[in-house]
Structures are given as C-alpha cells and as structure tokens.
Structure 1
Amino acid sequence: MARNPGRIRPALGVALVAALVFTACTDGERRDGLRPGAADLADPYAPGAGNGGYDVASYRLAVRYDPATDRLSGRAAITATATTGLSRFNLDLAGLDVSRVTVDGKPTGFARDGDELLVTPSGGRSGGTRFTVEVDYGGVPVARTDGQLGSGGFLHTADGAVALGQPWSAASWFPVNDHPSDKATYDIEATVPDGLAALSNGVPGERTSAGGWTTWRWAERSPMASYLTTLVIGDYRVRTGTHAGKPMVTAVPASLPETGPEAASLARTGEIADFLASRFGPYPFDSYGGVVVTDGRIGYALETQSRPVYGPGFFRGGRPNPNVVAHELAHQWFGNSVALSRWSDIWLNEGFASYAEWLWEEHDGGRTAQRNFELEYAGTDWSRPSVDPGRSRLFGTAVYKRGALAVHALRRTVGDDTFFQILRTWTAQRRDGNATTEDLVALAEQVAGKPLRPLFDAWLVGGTAPALP
C-alpha cells in the first residue's frame, strides 16, 4: 500500500471500509431485504480475512489431534449476532474438510470457496438476531511458510503441533471470523494422546483422561482477537500456580534443562507483569503464563492472549531474556486488551511493546529509556512511516522502533505524570475493545489539554527527523 508521508490519515477504516462492505453485501440482495454477508472485510493488509454481516460473541471449540497421523478433528460452536439481514454468511477456514453444519440446531446448507466456508441457513437471519452455528470438520491442518514473521498456522512438530501466527493462524485449525476487529470469548477443549500437554489461552479447567487420550480445557473470558489464539501440543513440563490471585501456567519443552534460560525467563513473568501494571494500569486478564517452543520455523515470539509463546531464537545466547517477556506481556495491554481495528495501525501494538522493553530495562538496572531513545533516534530511517507502513513492512523497524520513539517523544512533551495518565486512561477506557491511531491522538489531547496531532504526525509519519522535545 502507498505510504502517506504527511499527516496521519483520518480513519480510512470507518467510511471507506463501510462502503466496501456495503457494496459486497448488496450483491445478491433478495426481496425480503436479506443479502449475503461480505466474504472479506477489505483490510488491504490481510486480503480475504474476516467476514461481514455478523458479530461473534463466543467460540466453543472441541478438537482432537493425533500427532502420529497429523490429523485434527473438531467441532466449533460459534454464537453471533447478525448486524444486517443475512441470506448467507461466511467463515474463514483453510484446508480442512467440513462434514456438517447446523444453525440454531438445524442442519443447513454449506459450500466451500477456497478458504471460505459459505453457510446458508434456512430462512436467513434478520438484523439483530442472535444465532449459533456449529461446524464439524477435520483433516490434516495447513501451515504457511511465506509469512513475514516466518512459518505460521498449524505446524506439525516432532512431538505434537503448534498453532500460531500473525496476522494469520486461527483459520488453520477452526472456522472463524479471522480479523481482530471481531473479538470474542473462547472455550477450548483439546484432546491429545496421554502424556502430551495441550496448552492454550486463558484459565485452565478440569483435565480428564479416557482410553489413552487426555482432554485439556481452557477458558478465555475476555474478548480475544482470533490471531491471539494458540494451541501448543507436545512433551512439556507444565508448571501451574497462582500470581496475584490468578492462575499462572508456564510450560517449557521437557527436552530443555529445568534450569535453562527459557525456564528462568518465564519465571519472571509475574514480576514483570506487576511492574508493567504499575505503569499501564491493572493487568487486564484472568490468567498469566507463557510457553516456550523449540521448533526452528518459529523465529518470533507472539503475544497470544494471557499466555505468550516464545520461539527458540530468543534464548540462543544461553542467558535469560526478560526483555522479550516484557515485550510480549506489554502486548496484553497494548494489542490484546486494546486491540487493532485495522492492521495498518499495528504500531499501536508494537510501538508500545517496544517502549515497554525500554521501561523494563531501566527498571532492571540497564540502560535508561532516555538513552535507548537517543540511540534509536540517531539510527532511524525517517522515510519509513509507523502508521500505514505498507503490507511488506507490517513488522518492520518503523513499526517497532519508530513507534517507540513516538511514545517517548509524547512523554517528553507532556511530562511523566500526564504521560502515564494518558496510558492508564487509554487501557481503562478501551479495555476489551478496539482502537485506531486517531482514537489515541484524541485521547492524548483530551488528557493533556493541548493539541498533540502535530507531534504524532512528525514522529509517526513525517519524512524528516523531528526536532527533539
């Protein structure tokens, strides 16, 4: 996508996306006012992702996976509300076969079109109607090896599997409205051969075994974007405890030393979360944790909600890496609780998480945030914007580091008291919702009591180095 070297552009999403979705939905309108829901939310950073015409409230997933055959079978129960009259609606689902679909308990017609599942309920659904669709499905899940972060989707591993990735992963293992603008709660049951762990998001539930299989249960009661779901299956040492009265679940592959840098890093999860809460406001979820994976195809860490997943590259130095833990935990506020409305604003996730690394490093006795700011400022390519960076640079340095520079410039401009008030107000008012850059600028100006748009323009999208505040 073309860059905008000038001002932060007004919410592309609201008017333009609405028009695109309306155009898509009016195709095939019937006399009763019902029409097919859009098969694409028209986000240019995730073409084909998401669907229009409904809003999901909850997913109930029950999956069974056998690593010996790499086959997954599942049933998904999805409760949603039609936001317009629907003659048909779509779900994203890649690669897997569908054997049965019901809507409100009644078998219904369905078809496949690439990675889309088209569902045609009898009589359609009028706007405002709540409905539940159940999908029985199965097959060998698919992975993608061409992602900007590396491999993602459902990855078969030596001892199990890992479902992970950004901006795409969920549709590789369950039918979903696969865009962060439609958050929902989740109940996840994963049945795996005895002796293997099945780790996912949220609060752990009862674990049961029968006939050589064990079912692990998880519940995430705070709304979650679909790409933040995860399922990690394998031979793990799982530690379950509590922190601040909430469950803490961490897991490290059994093949790694019990006293290795991976376990030592995860052991600081509670301490780091508490520090970040002192800056950002209360921790937003009902559980804590983290999971380390050893598959070399996963060259990243991801802020999967309540339980980040860390790839092996962060621990190759043989020393603990609390900075990456700080980064992924900061996302629990910035990116997870307050989620994106559109992918072009990803700096709202990565800029704040990168800045949290600077805050943590200073707190932990390392370089100050000001020193990190000075070093990063000197080496920044100002021709690359943080907002709307272009699809090929969705995870580029401008998003992460230039975004962090903008955060610190805001701090220098308004002072510490107002700065942290802005952050805590943002995380409180936008908790469990979605937001845009425009929303942040408006909130910052409101709290600070002065215009700040020129500051954000200069530090996020301006083509030359801004003056130091």
Structure 2
Amino acid sequence: MAWTTALLAVLLSGPVAPVPGAAGIGDPYYPDYGNGGYDVTHYDIRLRYQPSTDELSGTTTIQARATQGLSRFDLDFLLDVRSVVVDGRPARFTRRGDHELVVTPARPLRWGDTMTVRVTYSGMPSTKVGAGFTAWFRTPDGALAAGEPEEAWWWFPSNDHPADKARFDISVAVPDGVEVLSNGTLPRAPFPDGPGWTRWSWHSAHPMATYLAFLAIGQYDVERTRSAGGRPGIHAYSQLLTPELEAAARASVSRTSEIIDWESTVFGPYPFESEGGVVTPPGALPYSLETQTRPTYGTTHFRRGANLGVIVHENAHQWFGDSVSLTRWKDIWLNEGFATYAEWLWSEHTGEASAQQLFDELFDAFPDDDTVWTLPLGDPGVPVITPEIYFRGPMMLQELRVTMGDPAFFRLLKAWPAAHRDRNGDTAQFITLANRIAGRDLGAFFQAWLYTPSKPARVQAHFTGLPVASEAAHSVRSNPSR
C-alpha cells in the first residue's frame, strides 16, 4: 500500500523541474569522473590527425538518454571546443575544473528524453594536462591514446566512467601511408578522404567503457587473421621495433587465437566480435592495457624475449574488466585479480607450476607487515592500479578455489561473465553468486581476503618449493600489466 501512496503523491505534485546534472557519476574514488543525469548509448567519433604537428580536429556525436530532468549537464573533455549542438540547437558551454565541459541546452531535457549532442573541437592533445598528466603519447611517427582510469579526455568528450558503457564508431583521417588502429572491426578498407589523406573507420558491436577505447596512429605492419573457429582478428606491429623486440612480440601476439580458445574453455565463450593486438613503438607506452577486442602492448614486456603471460593477462581482461566492467573503481580486483590468476591457470595448463604451487611460494614471500596484506583488496584506495592487487588478487582466488572445490569454482569462473556480459558488476554481486554456487555462506572468507588489512590464515598448504614466485613478484612490482 505504501508504494501506491508514494506514486500518488508524485503524480499530484506535478512534473519535477529540470536541475543540473551532477559533475560526477558518484564514484567516491574519483568524485568528478563521469557525470550525472544521463546515460550514453553511442559515440560517433570522426577525427582528422596530423602526426607531424599533433593537430587533432573533428566532431563527436553522442546519443544519450536523460535519467533525470536536466537543465544542464557535463562532459569530460580537455580539447578546445568550437561549438556544441544539442538536438539540432546550439547550446551554451563553459569550462569548470581541468576536464569538465558544462553544456546548457537551448531547451531543458525531461526525464527519459533522448538527446543527440554534437561537439566540434580541435587542439594538440599532448599539450593538455588533466589530473596532473597526459594520456596522449606522441611517438616519432604518430601518437597513442591509451590509459587507465582516464584517457578519453584527450580525444573525445564523454561520460568518462566504466559505469556508463556505450557502443562506438571511431573514424580517423590521417596522411596517406599512416595507419590507424582502434577497437572492434574494420568493416571496409581504408579509403581516400581528400587529396593526400586516408580515412580508417572502426566499429565496435558491443558496449565499451570509455577508458577501453584507444587509438594507435603511426607506421604499423597490419595483419588480418582468422582463428580456427573463424573469429576475425587484426594484429599490428610498429615498424619502429628493433629486430629483437619484433621477433619476441610476434612470437607472443601471434598466439592470441590459441590463448583465447583456451581461455574460452575456462571462462566461457569469447565475448566480442574480433580479437588481436597492437605492439607499440619502443618506449612509447610504459605498460600494456586490455583495450577492448585488441590489447595494446608496451615493448617493456618483450625485452626478455617472448612473453605469453602478458597475452594471457590482457586477453583474460576481455571477460574480466571489458565485457564485465567494474561499477566503481574500488572493485578493481575484479579486473586485475582474475587477469593475473589466468596467468596462473595458463602455467598449470601448460605443465609448468600449478596455481597452488604459485600461491604457496607467493604467500610465504611477503612478511606479515607488507602492504600486500595491509592494503584491503576490496577497498584499496587511490591510485587504483597498485602492485598489491596483482599479488593478493590471484592468491585470494586460489584460496577460493580450495575453499569451494574445483567443480564449483570453475562453474563460478564461467557464471560471472555470463551473468554480467556487456554490463557491469561489483564485489557484492560476485560474493552473492559465489555463495549460491558454493551452496553456503562464504562471508567470513571474503571478509578476511577482501577487507581485513592483515595476512589471512592459509586455507590449505601444498608447498612444493618451486622457485617461481620471486621473479614474478619482481616483474609485477616493477612493471605491472594493467
């Protein structure tokens, strides 16, 4: 009876007056990231980029739906804006803070209204600083846009938070002879866009978090591939790679289809329409990143030769982080814990150290007062990308495996990405699903491993003495994959 009374009160009170949308989406870690009051369904990004000068210009057209009455709303963006048009009418705009573009449409929006926002802009992305840095990297032959948790600000206006996923079309014109790599598929071959220019147009069929959209512009050897099951792929290798780096990178990235096929047996069907990888110029990208459908790889991971671990890691993210995106940044362990644990499972699959052996060695490697134990995995604070997540995350999952038993645990590994495909998930939902599959309350286990700032008690020990974790610990501490 209470709900009918409340509904009647709303109806009698009349329409709610439009108000400004919030400057942030509500993430306590990054209060001004993302925006309130609307939900984006599609980005159409059409750009022109001149590598020699770092000049970028173009338009982004945003399709969105108002989730409240809106008198104005924010977009996250850094470049110089020439005009904003909302539903065909010029809109007023101004700046607030280092990345907020505040838009006041000619007519307020009602709850549920769809809107089309067209932003025309230009600038030199590498000269723009937001949150104290730039996520646009110039290279000798072009540029890279890849970063986490923010990188969209430098090349397209957006609702920049994983909680608001959308589909993308990304089209970039560059001088003839320059390649452009991005997400999804290339439905048609690059085509002329005026004298001396070529346009590359990429299409993403599945919703994507804004930080997973990427650009790699420069001189690349681009290879089209197809997996044994018919899945299309595109691999690209910078032409600036040294022979040694190129050999190591190709030996690694060329096995992407094999690795995805194996991961599909563990995590369920591959969630996207294409696959691949982009190996960036030497020194251009200080990490590797799980950019959706096509990870971007920094060459630091290939300095010691072929590295299948980073291929396993970034492609595991296609399930954990990309298809199922986090709801708030404090749940970053749902991305990095699973991707690192996938490396452990690959080791086990290939007959090297088992996941239990890796756990035993790593569990004993850190003293009780190490930040691996004192930093709560389920609420690590800012910055969210820290080495501790790469250690405690997979250890927690191995202990969960021991606690649940293999049959239930591996059902969970498939059930989680299936339940949240193309959407978002959080820690509470994961715990609920684990409890259901386990058939019992695992609250004490998750409290100890996710939220208690001390070393948990070992569930079960099978120490083998294999010296595998010390090198892994050094590698991740000095250069984590994202």
TM, length-normalised to structure 1: 0.89
- What is the alpha-carbon distance in structure 1 between the residues aligned to residue 320 and residue 140 of structure 2? 33
2:57 pairs, out of 64, 73, 77, with: 73
Identify the match of residue 112 of structure 1 among 95, 113, 126.
Answer: 95
- State which drifts further: 255-264 or 427-436: 255-264
Q: What does residue 431 of structure 1 align with?
A: 421
- Do residues 192 (structure 1) and 153 (structure 2) align? no
Range 152-161 or range 262-271, more displaced: 152-161
Matched, 1:102 2:102: no
Aligned match of 2:27 in 43, 57, 81?
A: 43
Give yes or no for contact 1:157–1:295 (8 Å, CA) kept in 2. Answer: no
Instruction: Give SS of 1:301's match.
Output: coil
Q: Indicate the structure (1 or 2) with the bigger Cα radius of gyration.
A: 2
Percent identity, please: 47
Output the CA distance in 1 between the equivalents of 2:122 and 2:131.
Answer: 24
Segment of structure 1 superposing worse, 279-288 or 354-363: 354-363
Kindly indicate whether the alpha-carbon contact (under 8 Å) linking 1:152 and 1:164 is maintained by their aligned counterparts in 2.
Answer: no
How far the C-alpha of 1:146 sits from its partner, in A, is: 9.5
Note the alpha carbon deviations across 1:302-354, whole angstroms, 9 max, x for none. 0000000011110111x110100000000000001110100011000000000
Give the corresponding residue for 2:375.
384
Matches within 5 A, 1:149-228: 153-206=135-188, 207-209=190-192, 210-228=194-212
* Residue aligned with 2:173, SS: strand
Q: Which residue of the partner structure matches residue 456 of structure 2? A: 465
Shift of the alpha carbon at 1:417?
1.0
Q: By how many angstroms is 1:295 displaced?
A: 4.5
**Counterpart pick for 1:373 among 359, 380, 384:** 359
Of 332, 338, 342, 1:352 maps to 338
Relative to structure 1, the CA distance from residue 251 to residue 152 in structure 2 (aligned partners, 3 Å threshold; closer, same or farther) is: farther
- For residue 342 of structure 1, the aligned residue among 325, 328, 348 is 328
Q: Which runs of 4+ in 1 moved over 3 A?
A: 142-148
Alpha-carbon distance between aligned partners in 2 of 1:455 and 1:147, rounded to the nearest angstrom: 36
Does 1:331 pair with 2:317? yes
| 1:375 shift after superposition | 1.2
Residue correspondence of structure 1 range 249-264 to structure 2 within 5 A:
249-256=234-241, 257=243, 260-264=247-251
Distance 2:255 2:162 in 1: 29
Q: Per the alignment, in what secondary structure is the counterpart of residue 302 of structure 1?
A: coil
Whether 1:275 aligns to 2:262 is yes
In structure 2, the residue matched to 1:302 is: 289
CA distance in 1, matches of 2:113, 2:447: 42
Distance 2:154 2:403 in 1: 44
Question: What secondary structure is seen at the aligned counterpart in 1 of 2:306?
Answer: coil
Distance 1:102 1:90 in 2: 14
Unaligned runs of at least 5 residues, structure 2: 1-14, 461-482
The answer on whether the counterparts of 1:144 and 1:153 sit within 8 Å (CA) in structure 2 is no
Amino acid at match of 1:411: R
Measured in 1, the distance between the counterparts of 2:235 and 2:104 equals 42
Task: Say yes or no: does 1:246 pair with 2:231.
Answer: yes
Q: Cα distance 1:144–1:350, how it changes in 2: closer, same or farther (>3 A)?
A: farther
Kindly provide the amino acid, as one letter, of the partner of residue 34 in structure 1. Answer: P
Q: Distance in 2 between matches of 1:165 and 1:468?
A: 36
Match of 1:315 in 2: 302
Q: For residues 259 and 72 of structure 1, do their structure 2 counterparts lie closer, same or farther at Cα, with a shift above 3 Å needed?
A: closer
SS in 1 for 2:416: helix
Write out per-residue CA displacement over residues 161-183 of structure 1, whole angstroms, 9 at most, x where no aligned residue: 00010001011111000011100
AA aligned opposite 2:96: D
- The residue matched to 1:260 in structure 2 has which SS? helix
Residues 128 and 154, structure 2, Cα contact 8 Å, conserved in 1: no
Q: Deviation per CA, 1:36-89: give whole Å up to 9, x if none.
A: 001122423324211000000010000110011110001100000000000001
Check whether the contact 1:235–1:253 (CA below 8 A) recurs between aligned residues.
yes
Q: Displacement of 1:142 after TM fit?
A: 3.6
- Counterpart of 2:213 in structure 1 is 229
Q: 1:356 to 1:191 in 2, by over 3 A?
A: same
CA distance in 2, matches of 1:396, 1:447: 30
CA distance in 1, matches of 2:59, 2:248: 38
Q: 1:154 to 1:302 in 2, by over 3 A?
A: same
Shift of 1:116: 1.2
